[in-house]
Amino acid sequence: MLLMNLQRLSASSLGGRSLCRRLTTQPNTQHPESLKRQQRQTQTQHESPPYKGQSFEEVVELRKQYLTPNVTSYYKKPLLIHKGSGSQLFDQDKSYLDMFGGIVTVSVGHCHPKVNAALEEQLRTLWHTTNIYMHPKLHQYAEKLVAKMPGDLKNVYFVNSGSEANDLAMMIARLYTGNHDIISFRNAYHGASPYTMGLTAHSTWRYPLPGLNSGILHAMNPDPYTGIWGGKQCRDSPVQTTRSCDCQEGQCKATDMYYDQLEQLFKYSLPRGKVAGMFAESIQGVGGTVQYTKGYIKRAAELVRANGGLFISDEVQSGFGRTGEHYWGFEAHDIVPDIVTMAKGIGNGFPMGAVVTSRKVAEVLCQALHFNTFGGNPLACAVGMAVLDVIDEEELQKNSLDVGTYMLKGLERLRDKHDVIGDVRGKGLMIGVELVADKETRQHLSAPHFVDIWEMCKDMGVLFGRGGLNANVLRIKPPMCITKADVDFSLQVLDIALRKHSEKTH
């Protein structure tokens, strides 16, 4: 049975309308006849092979028996994914539009042919030597990657994940400055290792272990939607909040007040003039795609440097063109950081990460031996170079801007239509939709109601992520190759799910 059959999802409760979707790598909202023609044209390219693995029930039992019990899955009935292609994921008998990109990791598309080919070519010649020997790919990739960086950010150290990258950045900042204290934001997520867990300021991601917060302070989050201050003039986004605001165009009073709180932290909680550094995601990811008030990050970086510290930009989720206007998220804040950390989209799903800094800062690592067995291995570097090439060749940064802005505007219309959408925010293809129980108070939507909407979207063929401290934000960070047709389908699915939820709850 072909996977590319037509799935009809009844929406009779919505005025007799129905939602039709062809299960190809390019979801559509066209007339069924058009879908049939497209199926004939594309089925030889996009047909998924039959699944031949263990049954769903067998996998569930193996998971229960052999994986640690903290390993959880999305959805009441988890998906058993066995293939990916472009923006699509396939389980045993159905395809889904992946609007979460493997947790903001699949940057150029599932199983991109050029990235696959680069990996296959490399694995036939050399898998691994570690960096005690020189191999060409490490040096070629380092040159190619730092060419994307501004200023003196021309030295790179390769690791395997975002947590490892932020671990190393913390250590470098402390070694370079001779100071110990590090600042991050409330609502930040910078990793789950024992070292980075202190930076992460979400109670849901923290274990009760001693020493996690040793030398780490959490600053007030300058959030213009749910924070103490902020409103409709305060965010660098195609879509602003509906919250009232006294700010005039071009100014943000909320930034002044949040910055005052940061100054208070320096005044009362730090040794005078002595801080090691400050971490900031350019746009908070796990925290629910939270953007800061305009101008805050630039002023914060200046304050940190004036007190002897380094400013570290976490680009694990917002880098590699995802925000559209810029290649790196920090560029939108008009800064050049002292250290940049990156992972996820760097390898399109291949486990890799990197720390980029200046030669002057990097030299502190020479004080002792430091080694990462797998960091910068030949396979990872081959993949990394191919990813950079695809982003440029297929103009995926521009696509993120064009398609992302198109989606943000569509979501803005849904916000104005549905009471349950409190806020739409983001840039490019880094988007958040906050669901609320009350638009006026911004009270978060409770978990059962959120899950009802989320599950309906999945059942209709669209996979959204979930985030925010209260897990009430739809995280939309798809592969950067998605099309406006994909967006139209996603908006239609979300619109129907919100309508159905409203009917059930009123």
Q: Are strands 277-281 and 182-185 parallel, antiparallel or unpaired?
A: parallel
What is the reported pLDDT for 92? 85
**In the structure encoding, which two tokens stand for residue 320, read together?**
């590699």
pLDDT in tens, the chain (506 residues): 323 333 334 333 333 333 433 333 333 334 334 433 333 333 334 466 688 889 999 999 999 999 999 998 999 999 999 999 999 999 988 899 999 999 999 999 999 999 999 999 999 999 999 888 999 999 999 999 999 999 999 999 999 999 999 999 999 999 999 999 999 999 999 999 999 999 999 999 999 999 989 999 999 999 999 999 999 989 999 999 999 888 777 778 999 999 999 999 999 999 999 999 999 999 999 999 999 999 999 999 999 999 999 999 999 999 999 999 999 999 999 999 999 999 999 999 999 999 999 999 999 999 999 999 999 999 999 999 999 999 999 999 999 999 999 999 999 999 999 999 999 999 999 999 999 999 999 999 999 999 999 999 999 999 999 999 999 999 999 999 999 999 999 999 999 999 999 999 98
**In the structure encoding, which two tokens stand for residue 223, read together?**
């959030």
HSE, side-chain direction, 13 A CA sphere, residue 442: 17
Residue span(s) of the chain under CATH 3.90.1150.10 come to 32-101+395-503
- Rg of the chain over Cα atoms, rounded to whole angstroms, equals 23
What is the reported pLDDT for 1? 30
Level-2 CATH architecture, domain 32-101+395-503: Alpha-Beta Complex (3.90)
C-alpha torsion 476→479→484→487, nearest 10: -30
What is the reported pLDDT for 47? 61
Residue span(s) of the chain under CATH 3.40.640.10 come to 111-392
Q: Which of 113, 87, 472, 101 is nearest to 318 (CA)?
A: 101
The fold adopted by the segment(s) 111-392 is Aspartate Aminotransferase; domain 2 (3.40.640)
User: Does the reported pTM lie above 0.95?
Assistant: no
Q: Are strands 277-281 and 310-314 parallel, antiparallel or unpaired?
A: parallel
Question: What is the secondary structure of 112-152 as a DSSP string?
Answer: -HHHHHHHHHHHTT-S---TTS--HHHHHHHHHHHTTS-TT
Q: Is the dihedral of CA 172, 308, 313, 324 positive or negative?
A: negative
